[in-house]
Amino acid sequence: MSSVPVSPRRVFGVEFSGACDAGRHIWICRAHPGMNGIRVESIDPFRELPGGVIEREAALQALVQKVTESSRSAWGFNFPFGLPKAILDVLAPGVSGHADQLRVMVSLGKAGKLLEQCTGISSSADLRRRTDDEASTPFSPYNQRTYKQTFHGLTEVLGPLRSRPEVAVLPFDALPQTERQNGDRLPFNRVASADMPHIYVMEVCPASVLAKLGYLTDGYRGGSESESEARREMLRRLIKDGLMRPMTRAQKGRVIENEQGAALDSIFAAVGAWRGTRDYDHAALRADPMYGLEGFVYT
């Protein structure tokens, strides 16, 4: 087998959904990373991809399959990878790691139960993770707008992926080491095999990526001319700032015409995944007790 390059072969950004018809709302940006930003290869709603379906359970199973088939890649998913420690301390006393947290989530049985339990623990305000405050995410993992994403993302995406030896879910999973690597870079220079991680999955939040880059975090979703122009301007700025190479006219049109902003958010998720592969000390993140339990938002 040939060596894996230092950079991933591809990065993927996923604008996720936990809705019953999730396949209608999930968008995936597929891109090639480079020194001067990512080159977008495709931007598609999940239902239009080969094997894409609409119903949530089947769609998420197909999504997991696509991840496991993407050799030497990095994926950025827009859903929370964990709950706040203050919630876990009550919901599951003694929980010691992310794998335990996944088992607790599965035991709840449904997303509504997660919302009920969490709001029962803190009824006055939504509690947040440390990384939510640091990355300026807009919502708590169990907010009314995010709890379905959190539940179905954890139980139907991360759970199955963490059982696969070729996948590492960051920052929770240990990384394979090389003689010249101390954990601060993802080991894409190792061979790709079925029993060694070469697919890296991380939590991203488009709003957090926007905030980190100093871009406006709203005003680009909707069908008005000003909102369409905002999407157009964001694409221009990504290119100008060296984060994305010029797109084809068809790709640009698809992003600008998508009034929900999901296509654009998938691009920012891919940018977050690309930056996540190169700008963080992953071993240090994993060693941090809070990140190792609650998760970490890569921006």
Give the tens place of pLDDT for each residue, 165-177: 999 999 999 877 6
Q: What is the mean predicted confidence (pLDDT) over 217-227?
A: 96
Quick: pLDDT tens for 21-72.
999 999 999 999 988 899 999 999 999 999 899 999 999 999 999 999 998 9
- What's this model's pTM, rounded to 2 decimal places? 0.93
pLDDT class for 220, splitting at 50, 70, 90?
very high
For residue 229, is pLDDT > 80?
A: yes
Mean pLDDT, the chain, rounded, equals 91
pLDDT band at 13; cut points 50, 70, 90 = very high
Task: Tell me the C-alpha distance between 14 and 266, whole Å.
Answer: 5
